[in-house]
Amino acid sequence: MGMVQMGGWIVGEFGEMLIDSKAKDADGNLLDIAEEDILDVYENILDEHDRKGDRSDIIISWTLTALSKLTIRLKGCQKRVKDIIETYKDHANVEI
């Protein structure tokens, strides 16, 4: 789970590099990833950890925070991110 947290945080901080063709793969080729693909990964993480206990609540919190950061960095994802975050407004953990 630590890798999920770390990966979510890194993409939340530097996600714009994935869509601006500034990131490279292991072979040095430029990556260009669609915003939708990034959000799909975050949704999968949230679905995997939804309401499964304290450790998963931490993952959910970090993931939602990263998503909110991405709304500033990615141009066309504000509506989808808002919709994702809205689904957690009645979560049992008040921190979320």
**Per residue in 45-56, pLDDT tens?**
998 887 676 678
Instruction: Return contacts of 68-75, CB within 8 angstroms, 24+ apart.
Output: 69/12, 69/13, 69/15, 70/11, 70/12, 70/15, 70/38, 70/39, 70/42, 73/15, 73/16, 74/15, 74/16, 74/19, 74/35, 74/38, 75/35
Evaluate if pTM is beyond 0.75.
yes
What pLDDT does 54 receive? 67
Q: Which residues of the chain have pLDDT under 70?
A: 1, 51, 53-54
What pLDDT does 40 receive? 94
What pLDDT does 1 receive? 66
What pLDDT does 31 receive? 84
